Amino acid sequence: MKSLTGNFLIASPVLDDPNFDHTVVLMCDHNDEGAFGLVVNRVLMGSLQPLLHNFDVTHSAVDMPVFFGGPVKPEQGYIIYTPFDRKYGSLKVAANIGVTASREMLLDILSGGGPERYLFALGSAGWSSHQLEDELLTDSWLIAPCDRDIIFSLKVSERWRAAARQIGVDFHRYSERSGTA
């Protein structure tokens, strides 16, 4: 299977895992050793303010929601951002979209600088070697191209359906049963 890096994984209604129910995952890295992604449509906290002390910050020029990036290492923060800039030791995941765990970028954002658009998440989604491929064979996930507007502009509640619409899937008409011949 070719790499899914830079695509969305969209949880199908048949996926039976509460961690990923109705989620859209931005695939940040996918190779023979496994896969790593971040959920972009589940808010964990409406504000980063209660966590500022964890970063030795007393005042922030901006506030932002904290997303649930996934169940792996829930204490680890990640920033999905655009435009891409290698300055922060980032991984380029899609056209002009980067991901970093850089504390420096977070501090730049909190001081009113940093990238134009960003999403802060705690935790990540991870799959061991061939685990994701097995889940794809059971129709647990749909694959769609990454769309910056879905990540950064669309209301969180609309992202799951919008990502699926990119590939012609309307979950209002989606059937969870397969037929037999």
Torsion of CA 120, 38, 160, 109, to 10 degrees: 20
Strands 72-82 and 66-68: unpaired
Residue 87 DSSP class: G
Looking at the structure of the chain, the number of domains it has is 1
Residue 147 domain flag: yes
pLDDT over threshold 60, residue 177 = no
Q: How confident is the model at residue 176 (pLDDT cuts 50, 70, 90)?
A: low
Look at residue 52 and tell me if it is in a domain: yes
Contact 83, 115 (CB under 8 A): yes
Q: Is the pTM of this model over 0.85?
A: yes
Q: Does residue 96 lie within any of the structural domains?
A: no
Has residue 179 got a pLDDT over 50? no
Q: What is the CATH number of the domain that holds 137?
A: 3.40.1740.10
Phi and psi at residue 47, in whole multiples of 5°? -145, 145
pLDDT digits (tens, 9 = 90+) for 81-118: 999 988 888 999 998 999 999 999 999 999 999 999 99
Say what the pLDDT of residue 12 is. Answer: 95
151 is a domain residue:
yes
CA dihedral sign of residues 1, 6, 148, 49: positive
Domain housing 71: 7-75+122-165
